Amino acid sequence: MTDTCTEAPSTYAASAEFAAQANATADLYDHANRDRLGFWAAQADRLSWQTPFSQVLDFSDAPFAKWFVDGRLNVAYNCVDRHVEAGLGERVAIHWEGEPVGDRRTITYGELYTDVCRAANALTGLGLRAGDRVAIYMPMVPEAVVAMLACARLGVMHSVVFAGYSAAALKARIDDAEAKLVITTDGQYRRGQAVPLKESVDEAISAGTDASTVEHVLVVRRTGIETPWSEGRDVWWHDVVNSASPEHTPEAFDSEHPLFLLYTSGTTGKPKGIIHTSGGYLTQTAYTHHYVFDIKPETDVYWCTADIGWITGHSYVVYGPLANGATQVLYEGTPASPDEHRHFEIIEKYGVTIYYTAPTLVRTFMKWGRDIADAHNLSSLRLLGTVGEPINPEAWRWYRDVFGANETPIVDTWWQTETGAAMISPLPGVTVCKPGSATRPLPGISARVVDDNGNLIEPSPELGEHASGYLVLDAPWPSMLRGIWGDQDRFRETYWSRFAEQGWYFAGDGARYDLDGNIWVLGRIDDVMNVSGHRISTAEVESALVGHSHVAEAAVVGASDEHTGQAIIAFVILQADSADGGKHMVDELRAEVAREISPIARPKEIHVVPELPKTRSGKIMRRLLRDVAEGRELGDTSTLLDPAVFEAIRNAR
């Protein structure tokens, strides 16, 4: 259809063949609109409940929701045991591909069952009980998935910390959750090199003045590199897990039993521990995985490229696909290791049919050029997905053309750590896709775009397509967060205070409608940046910068960047007695942020400036700094204390 047109089409319907075999049908919307709670009850029936729920939703204590009230289930049983009981023990759960070429393992559901039982028994042996917290700080190895499921099986909450995070970031998360156990690996492979990982755990536990809550460190041997060892505290996975019993009877927990904590950036420097619970979370991840990814567990090979350190890895590597008995690829390394062909080789080798990734990676592939992709047979692919940030239409079309042979549907899924599962997305085979738009709320989900007063910004020819507003979720959903660990005031304040009167959840994103009623998510409107799909708060980076002895003040903004969506740009004022702001200092500060937070938070640019633009009340005007960073004419400077500061800032750049 595109070949004959000079202009790229603005809408893409799925082929008749795809629609005919699709899991989703348009009547899902009708069912959900007619009887929302009945619809969700039907979705909950995908799971195996030990005790059925007596009520779908209790929102009487809003914003604290209870979904599937009185129901009891075991999440790990639903992800593993029940498939084995159904005779699917021989089905591959995970095709694991290590970073070193040739390093691979195939794990069936039967094997996964044994591994999870052994790990659960080992955790019990280490003193873990339901309600305890375990930090998981691991690369993408099968044991990481096993560790998460073993925690779930015991009703122990996991807090997965991305293995690219620093010791300081890990420490903050261990301390906030008061974790009793850390599960890690000796080292990890990074671009062909084995680098230490457990060292950071040791550093995190011993740093600070207070005694750590950590009683044991459970270590998977991954690289064999030398590892510091604390007798009595540290234990090898192969010692305690491999020798544990392969039998374990799962206990059923309340539907609202907490499943995990996942820390994410907010508008302050302190990360928030987002709480997710069991029945609702698993219902919505399984439901969305079934329909949005059109999964046919008997034949599909699914690959979500996200790391388990992010919510996408939780919901669409671990819980959703495993609840649905899917076969998936788990890849340990980076896309360019050993060279740019790696992802395409994996797709070809395993016959991947569904591929879900981030727009930033699509843009990286574009930069590498289509010759790389074209060197491979990608004809197994039948559905593509994106998540994490808006995808520019050009990248969308390239993705469909090069990965999808100009044929496959693309599901652009909008959601957040807080929502737990996909919320706004096309249903493949049903929805007519528009490149750049996540289209509509999924059946059972309700969202709207509103102005400051909560009035709907209706798509209308008069308003055109340019009126934008705030994205809100105006009805509770099963996988919604249940709060912020240890700070429920912050939970109310962050998400529920802006539209308190209406009782709506404020997502923090700007959005608009098009004339067809599709939603276009425009990006964060708060002080949260989105760099390559990673959420980083300006305050977190600022606090890492001012932590440096030479920095007096810092202001950080996200400036739009062609490649990473946004790029981190920092403006710093140095201490009076410190050396000049030469390149050496800038390099040192960039390294400091990478050390303090993670390399993903390393500012792209740091400008040493004599002053920062402030309002009379002392608030830094980031909006103006963004104008400077993006090379724009200055916006309204009327509230600025000293408009002349920009002269100085411009000169300093």
> Between residue 259 and residue 288, which ones bind ligand WT7 under the rule CB under 6 A?
264
Q: Check binding of 423 to ligand WT7 (CB under 6 A).
A: no
Kindly tell me which residue out of 115, 176, 256, 509 binds ligand WT7, with binding defined by CB under 6 A.
509
Q: Check binding of 441 to ligand WT7 (CB under 6 A).
A: no
DSSP state at residue 252 = P
Residue 80 or residue 311: which is nearer to ligand WT7 going by CB?
A: 311
For the bound state, the minimum distance from the C-beta of residue 447 to ligand WT7, rounded and expressed in Å, comes to: 12
Q: Check binding of 518 to ligand WT7 (CB under 6 A).
A: no
> Between residue 539 and residue 578, which ones bind ligand WT7 under the rule CB under 6 A?
none
Kindly tell me which residue out of 523, 561, 586, 630 binds ligand WT7, with binding defined by CB under 6 A.
523
Q: Which stretch binds ligand WT7 (CB under 6 A): 6-14, 100-108, 209-217, 506-514?
A: 506-514
CA angle centred on 190, ends 568 and 349, rounded to 5°: 110
Closest CA to 74 of 124, 130, 123: 130
Residue 96 or residue 520: which is nearer to ligand WT7 going by CB?
A: 520
For the bound state, the minimum distance from the C-beta of residue 262 to ligand WT7, rounded and expressed in Å, comes to: 9
Q: Which stretch binds ligand WT7 (CB under 6 A): 189-197, 284-292, 408-416, 556-564?
A: 408-416
Tell me the residue number closest to ligand WT7, measured at CB.
417
DSSP-assigned states of every residue in 297-349: TTT--EEE---TTSHHHIIIIIIHHHHTT--EEEE-S-TTSSSTTHHHHHHHH
> Between residue 291 and residue 310, which ones bind ligand WT7 under the rule CB under 6 A?
310
Residue 74 or residue 530: which is nearer to ligand WT7 going by CB?
A: 530
Residue 227 or residue 564: which is nearer to ligand WT7 going by CB?
A: 564
Q: Check binding of 363 to ligand WT7 (CB under 6 A).
A: no
DSSP-assigned states of every residue in 107-160: EEHHHHHHHHHHHHHHHHHTT--TT-EEEEE--S-HHHHHHHHHHHHHTPEEEE
Residue 388 or residue 435: which is nearer to ligand WT7 going by CB?
A: 388
The two structure tokens encoding residue 82: 């029940």
Q: Check binding of 494 to ligand WT7 (CB under 6 A).
A: no
Q: Check binding of 96 to ligand WT7 (CB under 6 A).
A: no
Task: For 551-584, give one letter per residue: b (16+ CB within 10 A) or e.
Answer: bebbbbbbbebeebbbbbbbbbbbeeeeeebeee
d(CA 44, CA 407): 33
d(CA 233, CA 212): 12
For the bound state, the minimum distance from the C-beta of residue 275 to ligand WT7, rounded and expressed in Å, comes to: 14
For the bound state, the minimum distance from the C-beta of residue 397 to ligand WT7, rounded and expressed in Å, comes to: 16
For the bound state, the minimum distance from the C-beta of residue 522 to ligand WT7, rounded and expressed in Å, comes to: 8
For the bound state, the minimum distance from the C-beta of residue 3 to ligand WT7, rounded and expressed in Å, comes to: 28
Check: CB of residue 278 under 8 Å from CB of residue 314. Answer: no
Judged by CB under 6 A, the number of residues near ligand WT7 is 24
Kindly tell me which residue out of 535, 548, 602, 607 binds ligand WT7, with binding defined by CB under 6 A.
535
Check: CB of residue 539 under 8 Å from CB of residue 268. Answer: yes
For the bound state, the minimum distance from the C-beta of residue 394 to ligand WT7, rounded and expressed in Å, comes to: 15
For the bound state, the minimum distance from the C-beta of residue 173 to ligand WT7, rounded and expressed in Å, comes to: 15
Question: Rounded to 10 degrees, what is the CA torsion of 321, 435, 459, 23?
Answer: -30
Residue appearing with tokens 């980083």: 536
Q: Check binding of 320 to ligand WT7 (CB under 6 A).
A: no
The two structure tokens encoding residue 84: 């084995």
DSSP-assigned states of every residue in 197-233: -HHHHHHHHHSSSSPPS--EEEEE-SS-------TTT
Q: What's the one-letter identity of residue 353?
A: T
For the bound state, the minimum distance from the C-beta of residue 470 to ligand WT7, rounded and expressed in Å, comes to: 11
Burial (CB count within 10 angstroms: exposed 0-12, middle 13-18, buried 19+), residue 283: buried
The tally of CA atoms less than 13 A away on the side-chain side of residue 307 is 20
Residue 153 or residue 397: which is nearer to ligand WT7 going by CB?
A: 397
The two structure tokens encoding residue 101: 């070429």
Q: Check binding of 412 to ligand WT7 (CB under 6 A).
A: yes
> Between residue 384 and residue 403, which ones bind ligand WT7 under the rule CB under 6 A?
387-390
Q: Check binding of 415 to ligand WT7 (CB under 6 A).
A: yes
Residue 322 or residue 608: which is nearer to ligand WT7 going by CB?
A: 322
Q: Check binding of 495 to ligand WT7 (CB under 6 A).
A: no
Q: Check binding of 133 to ligand WT7 (CB under 6 A).
A: no
Check: CB of residue 507 under 8 Å from CB of residue 471. Answer: yes
The two structure tokens encoding residue 270: 């302190």
Residue 205 or residue 308: which is nearer to ligand WT7 going by CB?
A: 308
Residue appearing with tokens 């010759």: 371
Binding residues (CB under 6 A) for ligand WT7: these are 264, 310-312, 387-390, 412-417, 438, 507-509, 521, 523-524, 530, 533, 535
